[in-house]
Amino acid sequence: MSSNYYWGIDIGGTRVKLGLVNTDGDVLVSSVIDTLVENGPDDLVDRIAQTCKGLLLTEKIPSDMVRAFGVGSPGPMSQNKGTLLDPGNLPGFENYPIRDRLAQLLERPGVLENDVNAICWAEFKFGAGRDVETMVMLALGTGVGGGIIYQSELIQGAKGNGAELGHMIVVDQGRECKCGQQGCLESYASASHVVKRTKEKLDLGLDSTLKEVINENHHLTCEAIFEHAEDGDDVAVDIVNSVARTLAQTAVNLDHIFEPELCVLGGGVSKSGEFLLSQVREHYHDMMWDLNPATMEFAITELDDHAGVLGSAALCFDKF
Amino acid sequence: MSSNYYWGIDIGGTRVKLGLVNTDGDVLVSSVIDTLVENGPDDLVDRIAQTCKGLLLTEKIPSDMVRAFGVGSPGPMSQNKGTLLDPGNLPGFENYPIRDRLAQLLERPGVLENDVNAICWAEFKFGAGRDVETMVMLALGTGVGGGIIYQSELIQGAKGNGAELGHMIVVDQGRECKCGQQGCLESYASASHVVKRTKEKLDLGLDSTLKEVINENHHLTCEAIFEHAEDGDDVAVDIVNSVARTLAQTAVNLDHIFEPELCVLGGGVSKSGEFLLSQVREHYHDMMWDLNPATMEFAITELDDHAGVLGSAALCFDKF
């Protein structure tokens, strides 16, 4: 009987997704549990292990079919040691040897990887990047995460916390980022900063259909801004165009380093799909030099909420 | 008898340096010939091969001690095919199969690499980076070249023309670069742009001791600007500070991608040494986030004019 199944465990600040994955990228069984950060890391790994064992029992899958596990988590971390360092989203998990604790409980070897790197790996193996060898990913959520695959290898950074593309500085002395820097990509293109920047524009007294949204909902979302941009509202159009231009600047810079075949956009901000993509593409071709042909393509992530589970598991395929 | 000697051939727009290198990084014999671009590539490779053979005869070195050759050249190029593509500095050399032509004439296998990548490799093997595994290099000459070593491997880019760090965009819609882009690092930090920017400031009527230099010499050099900055001239101080800040911004961005241990500055603009270095270092620590310790160090290239010869040859060590 084949034993090529792997656990993928995707830890977030609120919830943990886990699933059993085969080497074709099928998620055979899966579950979601609360992170309950306040209960600490020992409690969490216990519940993860119990959930995994429970799934095997319920689904009548013999445990010897599982070879290993991959766990994706917010960083910073040491992949080599398998420990979390000082993860902002997981207070109380500092210096926790999560990989080895899980290995004891699951009785399998495993790997620890940055959560966005794991998602990037999933897109590379099974999603938008399955036909390329070199790609970059920008995950445009509350923050901006990054991932880089160069010649079929994940670029982790020399200390395991590289590919932090959201914190590349796109404007010297630009907008303040929560990381402490000024002018990060994140402070222009993350969902929270898109909303913030739009509100700043509205506060200047510019006319906009978004004012009605705020009056009605007492709340402005990134999604609403993109919708109003599609409908031609000037303020929203300007913001989306500026986000697209900043993403294109980052794409040009990554092109000059890695020459990726593909730049994949993910996260909430990318949900408008081709509307954002076409603007990024246009700015990229506009900004890029003429010395070599500008050949990078742009796409939206193809995998659903399981990407983190899939990627974490897939990172083990060649290792165990 | 040992046969671990390698030719290093460093092609420039004006001159070609070549030398015989051993695996300890000693240049045993060397020579310089004119490129004579106007005579075309066949003439050049003939003269390179004749010079190599002449050196062996003169120095009484048996030709069977030479294992291979490395040739460094301005890009763009295809390393895989060993051909130059459309090198701006070598008109008439378009699509020339320089590696295989040299291989025929020298009767040895060889590699073709971008000239700045070769210099970066030399610094990594024998120079400022000999004790690190991950480093970046910025060669600040007439233009700005780049090199990246990640975990002891040269990052060539997926198509062989990556690591063009001088053309990362540091200012959206910034200064025009000769590459066709706007706001490239090169358009702020290259020797020619440092001079250009200084002249623009002087044209505004700002008071500066540099005006005397221009009156006397009818000419302004990057070197003079750095000297006057060290002497405290306000205009020169501002320019050097701005160059340092732009280099620091680039260093921060590369740190977030690769987490290099070291950033090496080379080329004419770096000749002021610690004067520039200390300012780059200060801006880097000032600009970099606090989430992880900012540990990248900065240094000036350590190798002399032979770096290109050394690096080209050294790129063959593990291959042949």
DSSP state of A182: B
User: CB-CB: which of B86, B260, B292 is closest to A161?
Assistant: B292
For B99-116, b where at least 16 C-beta lie within 10 A, e where not — what string? bbbbbebbebebbbbbbb
CB-based contacts of B315, cutoff 8 Å, min separation 6: B70, B111, B113, B118, B121, B154
Give the pLDDT confidence score for residue A2 in this predicted structure: 53
User: The complex's ipTM?
Assistant: 0.96
Instruction: Please state the φ and ψ torsions of residue B14, each to the nearest 5 degrees.
Output: -110, -45
- Establish, for the pair of chains A and B, how many residue pairs have beta carbons separated by less than 8 Å: 127
| CA A170/CA A173 separation, integer angstroms | 9
CB contact under 8 A, B172 and A170: yes
- Domain boundaries A128-300, corresponding CATH code: 3.30.420.40
Give the pLDDT confidence score for residue B88 in this predicted structure: 84
CB contact under 8 A, B259 and A157: yes
Minimal Cα distance from B164: which residue of A?
Answer: A256
CB A72 within 8 A of CB A10: yes
**pLDDT for B187-239, tens place per residue?**
999 999 999 999 999 999 999 999 999 999 999 999 999 999 999 999 999 99
**pTM of this structure:** 0.96
CB contact under 8 A, B165 and A261: no
CB contact under 8 A, A249 and B169: yes
| CA A167/CA B257 separation, integer angstroms | 9
Of B2, B49, B45, the closest CA to residue B26 belongs to B2
CB contact under 8 A, B168 and A88: no
* A87 φ/ψ sector (left φ>0, alpha ψ -120 to 50, else beta): beta
Enumerate the CATH 3.30.420.40 domain ranges in chain A, comma separated.
5-114, 128-300
CB contact under 8 A, A259 and B158: yes
The secondary element (H helix, E strand) that includes residue A187 is helix A186-189
For B213-227, b where at least 16 C-beta lie within 10 A, e where not — what string? beeeeeebebebbbb
Sequence letter at residue B126: F
**Both structure tokens of A69:** 């596990």
User: CB-CB: which of A88, A158, A165 is closest to B151?
Assistant: A158
- Domain boundaries A5-114, corresponding CATH code: 3.30.420.40
| CA B74/CA B42 separation, integer angstroms | 17
User: CB-CB: which of B151, B162, B179 is closest to A257?
Assistant: B162
Calculate the alpha carbon distances from B175 to B179, B269, B280, B287 in Å. Answer: 11, 19, 21, 22
| CA B144/CA A97 separation, integer angstroms | 43
CB-based contacts of B166, cutoff 8 Å, min separation 6: B138, B143, B144, B145, B146, B184, B185, B186, B189, B190
CB-based contacts of B144, cutoff 8 Å, min separation 6: B138, B165, B166, B167, B184, B185, B186, B189, B190, B267
Give the pLDDT confidence score for residue B2 in this predicted structure: 53
Give the pLDDT confidence score for residue A291 in this predicted structure: 86
CB contact under 8 A, A162 and B287: no
Give the pLDDT confidence score for residue A319 in this predicted structure: 93
Give the pLDDT confidence score for residue B3 in this predicted structure: 60
Which sign does the torsion angle of CA A232, A237, A240, A241 carry? positive
Walk along chain A (320 residues) and give the pLDDT tens digit of each residue.
456 899 999 999 999 999 999 999 999 999 999 999 999 999 999 999 999 999 999 999 999 999 999 999 999 999 999 999 988 889 999 999 999 999 999 999 999 999 999 999 999 999 999 999 999 999 999 999 999 999 999 999 999 999 999 999 999 999 999 999 999 999 999 999 999 999 999 999 999 999 999 999 999 999 999 999 999 999 999 999 999 999 999 999 999 999 999 999 999 999 999 999 999 999 999 999 988 889 999 999 999 889 999 999 999 998 99
CB contact under 8 A, A252 and B159: no
Token pair 């794991």 is found at A118
Give the pLDDT confidence score for residue A1 in this predicted structure: 42
Give the pLDDT confidence score for residue A3 in this predicted structure: 60
* A165 to chain B, closest Cα gap in Å: 7
**Could you tell me where the DSSP H helices lie in chain B?**
40-58, 98-106, 115-126, 186-189, 191-203, 210-217, 222-230, 234-258, 274-287, 307-314
| CA B45/CA A168 separation, integer angstroms | 43
Give me the residues of chain B with pLDDT under 50, please: 1
User: CB-CB: which of B165, B179, B259 is closest to A161?
Assistant: B259
Mutate to test the interface with B, among A176, A256, A285, A295 (most CBs of B within 10 A): A256
Give the pLDDT confidence score for residue B305 in this predicted structure: 87
